[in-house]
Structure 1
Amino acid sequence: MSKELLKSFQEAYSNLELFPLMGEKLMEQFRVDYGDDLIADLRQLVEDSPNGDGKFVFTGHRGCGKSSLLAEFSRQVQDNFFVVLFSIADTIEMSAVNHVNILFAIALNLMYEAEARKVQIPKTTKDQLYGWFATRTRTTEVELGAGLELGFDLLSFLKAQLKADAKVREEITQEFERKISDLVARINEIAALIQFATKQEVIVIIDDLDKLDLGRVNDIYRDNIKALFQPNFRIIYTIPISVMCDTFLWPLIGAETNYQTVVMPVIKIFAKGNNRLPDAQPRSEAKNILCEILQKRISSELIDKSAAEKIVVYSGGVLRELIRLGNVCCRICLRLIRQKPGEKIVINDQIIEEAIKQIRNDLSLRLGRDDFEILKTTYEQFEPEDVQQQEFLELLHGLYILEYRNDETWYDIHPILVETLRRRGLINGE
């Protein structure tokens, strides 16, 4: 077994994990210049917000790179604003997210960042705030006396409680559900103290709300959007792309935000319909961006050029799917290196076909007859019969169907699923 080859593929396998580029080190190592126009759009909305309390929506398919872009946006504006960026998935059990604990998480993360950056808040005021947090999360004096000091220790403990303890979340919800103005008042107090001490206006960015189940999204926004928008500072909310197809929910969100929305589109590999043509060639701009993303993570010595381009095409332009395909290819190669010591292993067409088969089987496993009919119609017409149909929205949310934008919005199915439709006789072979 070649130890060097094994080590190279292990490094690539690690680089191809699904993680957002949150820190400066990851940015320097893996970031590709993409989405600058979107960052400019976000900056325009945030910096030109007339009252300093604008609420904005950032949306796009899951896995299209929103988290990395928000991290880069945060880095670019941090000299002028007090930016608090956090993931709701890291803060609260996703199945338990509601409007109350979103607001409580805002308060907790504001305080955490103030402590992290040593914001000069008067001690008596700070102690009162810590006491408020401890009381609301039922943190006892015994726990506080057992080594938990006011500051990072307490806040880290409270964040862990909010994430893991259903009883704590339930008690917070029960206390504030009918007294949401009390919770908002405390949030505004913390933000005002930060702004006074730092001379910077506050921006809170809540990532991963777009990963919630659609039913949960509906519950959170349909009846509670006014509560979520009460804090008197700038907030960027992330929502699933499928919400934009909801004729009730989207106008409601649009009206409350004054339609201050930025959409991160999937990278369009082919112009509409071109991927149906024989010998179709991907758009060079899209291919170059996605190939560069791969090259940052996997050495060119480990993958054939044609194989890299094939991964690009089968990703559908979704960054997560690009990384996922590369990751599965590395897993296969690592297995082969151990099975066939001394043999030169690279990612080639054969490896990719095996990876595609694995992912195709995984995707197809959860599809029913109605789902296949929606996929067939979308493939043939570039749109479903009804964009409001719940089954279509779930397929869009789950990346089975992808939305593309240029002069118009159109849809296509995940490229890996095309062969599944052929085998089921739903579309003609090509």
Structure 2
Amino acid sequence: MSQLLESFREAYRNLELLPLLTETALKKFWVEYGTETIEELEQLVEDSPSGDSKIIFAGHRGCGKSTLLAKFCRKMADKYFVVFFSISDSIEMSDVNHINILFAIAVRLMEEAEKQEVKIKSSTKDQFYKWFAKRTRTETEEFKAETSAGFDLFKIITGKLKADATIREEIKQEFLRKISDLIARINEIAAVVQNASQKEILVVIDDLDKIDLGVVRQIYEEHIKALFQPNFRIIFTIPISVLREVRMAATLTTETNNQIVTMPVSKLFKQGERYLTNSEPIPEAIAMLTDVIDKRISRELIEPETVNKIIIYSGGVLRELVRITNECCRICLRLIRRKPDDLEIKINAEVLQEAITNISIDFDTRIGSADYEILKQTYLYFTPNDPKEQRFLDLLHGLYVLEYRNGELWYDIHPIVTEILQRKRKL
């Protein structure tokens, strides 16, 4: 195996499109970003007058929310009993509703208590175990085998919640008309854990921003009061597009007492400057995104000018930055196999152009003529005709449109989408 192949393989592994959730991953790849966002979250958590505040955390898909939340949760773990989990690891994403979100909170509270070896009275533990086992149809033998190591039991329960639609439906039907019973059990578990750990509870639920917009509306419009009833702090994630809907934004503002934190995309240019000849990107943003690339791929494998082009094509979205570089690595790995004697293969302008073409096809297959008009309007005037129009919200949700802030709210279209429209002579 050639050294070049192995170097690109390592870079390809480093460029997985996954958030940095473990301590190892954070140490290896973390770069300083989102400091103000972390400070906002910390202030809302610590200064909660009642200790049961509900906070909404919004941002573009791929802007680095999950990694930032993982970093934030580690920071808060000294003061709070922190439960951080992805809803996608607990529930099938197509079947998320307010009841199974609440049930997942209860499961994860107990799972984390077992993981941290919180000393809870055995009789109380057994009572909780039996309650969960009955509602998830955990077999009697399975339950008996696992109660001595409850952490494993809750892994089994989590697996059933994610894989078994019948169990999810049974839980939904049981608590649909008596949601207060489920809330009471959650609060009972939380009170026991808080008393035993001597720490107040902080639950952070990630990836709720990745569910379909229709489901998001149903959860937060129709069932927000039930979702916000647990007597402890909870941070919920939502898609940024939800905050553009007047009714939804008003509901969230009222129910959270305006405790909404929006994580901005890294702004590479001031409004309108991206299209100007010889415009210079903002140095601080370029430096941060360059650091992201440098921590994942050796500079010997990529031409310096190509690094800057990748950053510009990303639009400042962290996931797009990693996705483009990952695609470039895939192309180089194929080239090395095709030309094993060529030791000069690296990510250059030609490789990048092939990567952008591949990603362009993905973008292009999902939009049509009606979308072109919305995108053109946004490109020309930095806002659509109607920011509340459903199709615009879908484009915002899908990263065709990017939201920026610098004293005022404005929009731009993804740089790769810009090129698609230019090729089609729509711009």
TM-score after normalising by structure 2: 0.98
Map of 1:236 onto structure 2:
235
On the 8 A contact 1:108/1:155 being kept in 2, the answer is: yes
The alpha carbon displacement at 1:150 in A equals 5.4
The alpha carbon displacement at 1:156 in A equals 1.0
The AA in structure 2 aligned to 1:53 is D
The AA in structure 2 aligned to 1:21 is L
User: How do residues 305-320 of structure 1 correspond to structure 2 at under 5 angstroms?
Assistant: 305-320=304-319
The alpha carbon displacement at 1:140 in A equals 2.7
On the 8 A contact 1:59/1:241 being kept in 2, the answer is: yes
Map of 1:22 onto structure 2:
21
Map of 2:369 onto structure 1:
369
Map of 2:413 onto structure 1:
413
User: How do residues 56-75 of structure 1 correspond to structure 2 at under 5 angstroms?
Assistant: 56-75=55-74
> Equivalents in 2 of 1:194, 1:146: separation in Å?
23
Map of 1:111 onto structure 2:
110
On the 8 A contact 2:377/2:384 being kept in 1, the answer is: yes
Map of 2:100 onto structure 1:
101
What SS does structure 2 have at the residue aligned with 1:202? strand
Map of 1:135 onto structure 2:
134
What SS does structure 2 have at the residue aligned with 1:73? helix
The AA in structure 1 aligned to 2:329 is C
> Equivalents in 2 of 1:135, 1:6: separation in Å?
52
> Equivalents in 2 of 1:36, 1:121: separation in Å?
36
The alpha carbon displacement at 1:249 in A equals 0.8
Map of 2:402 onto structure 1:
402
> Equivalents in 1 of 2:145, 2:77: separation in Å?
36
> Equivalents in 2 of 1:347, 1:407: separation in Å?
37
Q: Which moved more, 1:418-427 or 1:27-36?
A: 418-427
Map of 2:195 onto structure 1:
196
The alpha carbon displacement at 1:144 in A equals 3.0
On the 8 A contact 2:205/2:236 being kept in 1, the answer is: yes
What SS does structure 1 have at the residue aligned with 2:55? strand
The alpha carbon displacement at 1:424 in A equals 1.6
> Equivalents in 1 of 2:383, 2:78: separation in Å?
44
Which deviations, in whole Å up to 9, do the C-alpha atoms of 1:120-162 show, x marking residues without a partner? 1110111000000011112232443567755123211100000
Q: Over the residues paired in the alignment, what is the CA RMSD in angstroms? A: 1.1
The alpha carbon displacement at 1:323 in A equals 0.3
The AA in structure 2 aligned to 1:24 is E
Map of 1:349 onto structure 2:
349
Identity of aligned residues (%): 57
Task: Say if 1:150 and 1:174 are closer, same or farther in 2 by CA, change over 3 A.
Answer: farther
What SS does structure 1 have at the residue aligned with 2:295? helix
In the alignment, does 2:418 pair up with 1:422?
A: no
> Equivalents in 2 of 1:190, 1:417: separation in Å?
48
Map of 1:54 onto structure 2:
53
Map of 2:246 onto structure 1:
247
The AA in structure 1 aligned to 2:162 is K
On the 8 A contact 1:206/1:238 being kept in 2, the answer is: yes
TM-score after normalising by structure 1: 0.98
On the 8 A contact 2:265/2:403 being kept in 1, the answer is: yes
In the alignment, does 2:382 pair up with 1:379?
A: no
Which deviations, in whole Å up to 9, do the C-alpha atoms of 1:31-55 show, x marking residues without a partner? 0011111111111100010110000
Which deviations, in whole Å up to 9, do the C-alpha atoms of 1:367-408 show, x marking residues without a partner? 111111111111111111101100000000010100000111
The AA in structure 2 aligned to 1:383 is T
On the 8 A contact 1:184/1:230 being kept in 2, the answer is: yes
Map of 1:288 onto structure 2:
287
In the alignment, does 2:174 pair up with 1:169?
A: no
> Equivalents in 1 of 2:75, 2:143: separation in Å?
38
> Equivalents in 2 of 1:423, 1:297: separation in Å?
32
On the 8 A contact 2:126/2:147 being kept in 1, the answer is: no
In the alignment, does 2:352 pair up with 1:327?
A: no
The AA in structure 2 aligned to 1:409 is L
On the 8 A contact 1:360/1:416 being kept in 2, the answer is: yes
What SS does structure 2 have at the residue aligned with 1:259? coil
The AA in structure 1 aligned to 2:356 is I
> Equivalents in 2 of 1:144, 1:50: separation in Å?
40
On the 8 A contact 2:37/2:261 being kept in 1, the answer is: yes
Map of 2:299 onto structure 1:
300
Give aligned pairs, total. Answer: 426
Map of 2:212 onto structure 1:
213
In the alignment, does 2:40 pair up with 1:38?
A: no
The AA in structure 2 aligned to 1:164 is A
The alpha carbon displacement at 1:342 in A equals 1.6
The AA in structure 2 aligned to 1:401 is V
> Equivalents in 1 of 2:143, 2:123: separation in Å?
17
On the 8 A contact 1:130/1:150 being kept in 2, the answer is: no
> Equivalents in 2 of 1:153, 1:207: separation in Å?
22
Task: Say if 1:147 and 1:252 are closer, same or farther in 2 by CA, change over 3 A.
Answer: closer
Which deviations, in whole Å up to 9, do the C-alpha atoms of 1:352-374 show, x marking residues without a partner? 01100000111001111111111
What SS does structure 2 have at the residue aligned with 1:392? helix
On the 8 A contact 1:93/1:163 being kept in 2, the answer is: yes
The alpha carbon displacement at 1:262 in A equals 1.1
Q: Which moved more, 1:416-425 or 1:109-118?
A: 416-425
On the 8 A contact 2:146/2:153 being kept in 1, the answer is: no
Which deviations, in whole Å up to 9, do the C-alpha atoms of 1:274-301 show, x marking residues without a partner? 0111122211111111011000000000
The alpha carbon displacement at 1:89 in A equals 0.8
The alpha carbon displacement at 1:418 in A equals 1.1
The alpha carbon displacement at 1:66 in A equals 0.3
Provide structure 2 residue ranges, at least 5 long, that are not aligned to the other structure.
none
